[in-house]
Structure 1
Amino acid sequence: MTPLTLTAAGPRPARGPRRTAWVPTLVLLLGSLYCLIPVAWVVIAATKGRGELFSTFTFAPGTGFLDNLKELNAYRDGIYWRWMANSVFYAGLGALLSAAVSAAGGYALGRFAFRGREFVFKLMLAGVLVPSVVLAVPQYLLLSKAGLADSYWSMLLPSVLSPYGVYLVRIYAAASVPVELLEAARMDGASEWRIFSRIAVPMMMPGLITVFLFQFVGIWNNFLLPYVMLADDTKFPITLGLYTLLAQGNSQPALYTLVITGCLLAVLPLIGLFLVIQRFWSLDLLSGSVKA
């Protein structure tokens, strides 16, 4: 039955959904296809051997995936897995430290009143507007003066402070951590560290998980910083390692299959991380609704 709406002239059928409603849906579908087709091609191309990859351009799966894995594993005694381990180390530890610094900085800016707070916050906002590409060379010069260039520290230190992470946690702390709860804890004799670690951090956990995810993906996909900082290829992350393989492919076309297979494997940790963290997001939201 069609719902009725009352008007001065009497009841009349309500208007159905606009016929142009399919336009944004079609645009979103086309955008999804535009983003997913290259990913699908990488998945299909990783299954093709050398002859299959260069002979025809089709989306039909090949038969050389296992051979590609064996060759990738044997290349330079498995240096690809060293690059993968370096990326896990840089992204995991860097994102964890960045989330911790963002938690402390965002909580202080969001829940403490002190002179110069607004100036610090605006300075942090200015840092969000500065592209990381602009900072790569100055960071290299500073770390080179300190004797830390071409070291693991040269990759970790620039990623510890995230202006966007501090900004995000500041907004989240101001919205999710009640001042009354903090005052009640102080009246009960709790120290500031105990209040921060036992009360504020659990309440800010969804925001901190978001900061961790953003930083992990940003560090994992970062290319320019390791390109500038590192010279020893045993310290390369996966992005720079695959770039060196691609550059060598100009003289050795056989390496192209290794590059494509390596790209496919490099995406899998990000997919797994997102699926795991999405579970924690759901748990945090559900626990918050139960407590409410």
Structure 2
Amino acid sequence: MATSTPTADRAPRQKSVAARGPLVVRRRRSAPGRRSATLTVLTALMLVYTLLPLVWLMINATKTQEGLLGSFGLWFNGDFALFDNIGTTFTYKDGIFVRWLLNTLLYVVVGAGGATLLATLAGYGLAKFDFPGKKAVFAVVIGAVAVPGTALAVPTFLMFAKMGLTDTPWAIIIPSLVSPFGLYLMWTFSTDAVPKEILESARVDGSGEFRTFFRISLPLLAPGLVTVLLFNVVATWNNYFLPLIMLKDPDWYPLTVGLKEWNQQALTAGGEAVFNLVITGSLLTVVPLIAAFLLLQRYWQSGLAAGSVKE
């Protein structure tokens, strides 16, 4: 009686598995991922919560003063006055809005830019050099991150008042140069972003520390640097409480304090209500921040994701 060999029995099964293999792989790859209804609802609520104020701002910036007070807030009025509002915003009270815009740019460029540079230099130095008291410095930085800026505003005002720097741009620029969170972020980012082998090779080749930093390390730190820069720009651009107590001269106001003054005009005796200009100015204030995030998107996304995957 003829018997089948193991090799002969295995061959048809191997062909059958080989034939089904690609189909099984395709089915596994096409299987949908797990979906959470709760997570979807929460994400939708957060999206509405985030975008609703911006939508309200965009809609109401198209209305006149009368249309703003006599129409539904989340729908357009009959008159489309966006361009008229923009023109009036820039020319109202001899163009003081332009002065406030330039002041804000000054505080951002010098304050936020300087804070980013200092945080990058300090974070890189703390990450790549060892020295006595390093753990104490780390504790001080963490403690500074935990202290809110509003808690330091009054002591800072008293100190600057004795120095005669209140009601000057330095009262806003100098405090903006200190960024504990940016320092901590650059410290942790520099630890893994710049390999020690590259620094040792540069030192062997005779490169100085500053040359090594600006020629080799700084390009590697670009994602983290841009992330810290955006955080500092947003914090300085939206800074309100510190300029409010430091500045008395409207010519040095940033946009935040200046728009607040326009908003309070309706509460003063004989003051003119310009709520349409306040809303239009607020919309114009938001546009540069949105543009900065969109233009630097690929940098700050990679900076925030740095260190999340360990190779």
With normalisation by structure 2, the TM-score equals 0.83
> How many Å separate the matches in 2 of 1:16 and 1:191?
55
Q: Which segments of 5 or more consecutive residues in structure 2 lack a partner in the other structure? A: 1-19, 26-30, 305-311
Aligned residues: 275
Letter in 1 for 2:93: R
Assess, with a 3 A threshold, how the Cα gap between structure 1 residues 222 and 283 changes in structure 2: closer, same or farther.
Answer: closer
Q: 2:295 aligned with 1:272, yes or no? A: no
> How many Å separate the matches in 2 of 1:17 and 1:207?
32
Consecutive aligned runs of 4 or more in structure 1 exceeding 2 Å deviation: 15-18, 58-62, 249-254, 279-285
- In structure 2, what is the equivalent of residue 197 of structure 1? 214
Please report how far the alpha carbon of residue 280 of structure 1 lies from its aligned counterpart in structure 2 after TM superposition.
Answer: 4.5
Identity fraction in percent: 39
Q: Which moved more, 1:88-97 or 1:62-71?
A: 62-71
Letter in 2 for 1:171: T
Choose which of 276, 293, 305 in structure 2 pairs with 1:257.
Answer: 276
- In structure 1, what is the equivalent of residue 197 of structure 2? 180
Q: Which segments of 5 or more consecutive residues in structure 1 lack a partner in the other structure? A: 6-14, 286-292
1:187-266 superposed matches below 5 A: 187-251=204-268, 252=271, 254-266=273-285
* CA deviation string 1:184-207 (max 9, x = no partner): 111111111111111111111111
Letter in 2 for 1:274: F
* CA deviation string 1:166-215 (max 9, x = no partner): 10001001011111111111111111111111111111111111111000
Letter in 1 for 2:111: G
Look up the SS of the partner of 1:249 in the other structure: helix
- In structure 1, what is the equivalent of residue 174 of structure 2? 157
- In structure 1, what is the equivalent of residue 109 of structure 2? 92
Look up the SS of the partner of 1:78 in the other structure: helix
> How many Å separate the matches in 2 of 1:129 and 1:58?
38
> How many Å separate the matches in 2 of 1:284 and 1:228?
34
- In structure 2, what is the equivalent of residue 35 of structure 1? 50
Letter in 2 for 1:38: P
Between Structure 1 and Structure 2, whose CA radius of gyration is higher?
2
Choose which of 169, 191, 201 in structure 1 pairs with 2:186.
Answer: 169
> How many Å separate the matches in 2 of 1:284 and 1:58?
38
* CA deviation string 1:238-263 (max 9, x = no partner): 00000111111224463111111110
Are the equivalent residues in 1 in contact too, given 2:194–2:217 (CA < 8 A)?
Answer: yes
Q: 2:141 aligned with 1:131, yes or no? A: no
Assess, with a 3 A threshold, how the Cα gap between structure 1 residues 284 and 135 changes in structure 2: closer, same or farther.
Answer: closer
Please report how far the alpha carbon of residue 17 of structure 1 lies from its aligned counterpart in structure 2 after TM superposition.
Answer: 5.1
Q: Which moved more, 1:189-198 or 1:213-222?
A: 189-198
- In structure 2, what is the equivalent of residue 288 of structure 1? none
Please report how far the alpha carbon of residue 97 of structure 1 lies from its aligned counterpart in structure 2 after TM superposition.
Answer: 0.4
Choose which of 30, 39, 48 in structure 2 pairs with 1:24.
Answer: 39
Task: Provide the alpha-carbon RMSD of the alignment.
Answer: 2.3
Assess, with a 3 A threshold, how the Cα gap between structure 1 residues 284 and 17 changes in structure 2: closer, same or farther.
Answer: closer
With normalisation by structure 1, the TM-score equals 0.88
Letter in 2 for 1:264: L
Assess, with a 3 A threshold, how the Cα gap between structure 1 residues 185 and 60 changes in structure 2: closer, same or farther.
Answer: same
1:59-138 superposed matches below 5 A: 59-62=74-77, 63-138=80-155
> How many Å separate the matches in 1 of 2:272 and 2:40?
41
